[in-house]
Every structure is written in C-alpha cells, then in structure tokens.
Amino acid sequence: MEKELEVKILNIDVEEVKAKLENLGARFLKSENQENIRLTSSKFDYIPKGSFLRIRKFLDKNGKEINSELTYKEHKENKFLKEFNEYNVSLKNSEEMLRILNFLGYDKLDIEKKFRTSYKLRNAHIDIDIWDKEVYPYPYMEIEVSNYDDLCEVLNLLGISEGEICLKSLPELKEELKNRS
C-alpha cells in the first residue's frame, strides 16, 4: 500500500510547463501511452464515493499492451489535497483479470486513453496528462507528494498559487464539462 497525496493544475500549456520543469532541474522520467479502465458494477455499489477500482494498461506507440496493473484507490478525507491509499498489483494478463472481475459483478467499464509525461522535481512526482479529446479535451498536470510541505515547495518553485489547485477527479471534471455544454 502506498499513500498518495495529489492535486491537479488544469488547462496548462504543456510546452510551457515542460520548459519550466526542465529549467528548474526536474528529472524527466518517462512518456507513455495508457489505457485506464475504471470498473464498477450494475448489480452493487461496494466502492465508496471517491474511491475506485482500475486496470491500467501501458501501451507501446502502436497501442499494444506492454504491461498492466490492477489498482484500488481508497479515498481518504482531506480538505487540502486529494488523498488516497493506493493498492497495486502487477498483471500478466489484463484481459483474464477483466473476465474474473466481470464474473465477480464488475460489469461496467469506463475505458479512457491518455498520453502521460512524468518528471521528478524535488520530492514531487509530476505528471502531464493529455487525454483523448473525447475523454477530456484539456491537458492538466498532477503533482503527487508525500506531505503538504513538499507540495508548497513545488507550487512555489512553479509559480502556482493555491487558488489554481484542483482536487476534482477525472469523472468530476468530465461531469462539470458536460453540465457546461
């Protein structure tokens, strides 16, 4: 289990953020294509609000699965940061795991693809996410830290005010966008 504290910074200029990170000495970690499959059930509702079950597939540039993991993110109440206890298991066969979960009643799949670029800056892990346009049309940055002080330090370095922080999940952002239309 891993404790995860995160915030989002919405509607970023991707190239500007990458340049700023590089100028600050952030270490580039990787770029990857991902397919995220959120699982829910039409029969029951065991997963508490804010928590979720997901299979994440890591894809090559042709869309072929390289590897995958099953994750349960348990939401914890926190006014300042999005907080989760994250449980991960590497999968050798994501399709077989999807079949098993379907047998257990997890029959609703929300499949979403994105391109992610990751950096390390001080004690923060920073992801720049660009979702397929039909999923979410605006790029954003996620900043993951282990404590609030690390977040404040990185926000200060990046010139981001606390008012620019977003604690909403992707489903909440999508719903907000749908309601605006």
Q: Which residues pair with 28 in a beta bridge?
A: 119
Helices 14-23 and 148-158 pack at an angle, to 10 degrees, of: 100
Q: Given a cut of 80, is residue 170 above it in pLDDT?
A: yes
**Domains detected in the chain:** 2-180 (2.40.320.10)
Locate tokens 């090559």: which residue? Answer: 60
The residue-averaged pLDDT of 52-66 equals 95
Cβ neighbours around 26 below 10 Å, total? 21
Q: Which residue is associated with the tokens 């257990």?
A: 104
H or E stretch at 157? helix 148-158
Q: Which of 54, 80, 93 is nearest to 166 (CA)?
A: 80
pLDDT tens digits along 104-163: 999 999 999 999 999 999 999 999 999 999 999 999 999 999 999 999 999 999 999 989
Per-residue model confidence as pLDDT tens digits over 2-58: 888 999 999 999 999 999 999 999 999 999 999 999 999 999 999 999 999 999 999
Say what the pLDDT of residue 47 is. 94
Give the pLDDT score at 40: 96
Give the pLDDT score at 92. 93
Read off the amino acid at residue 17: V
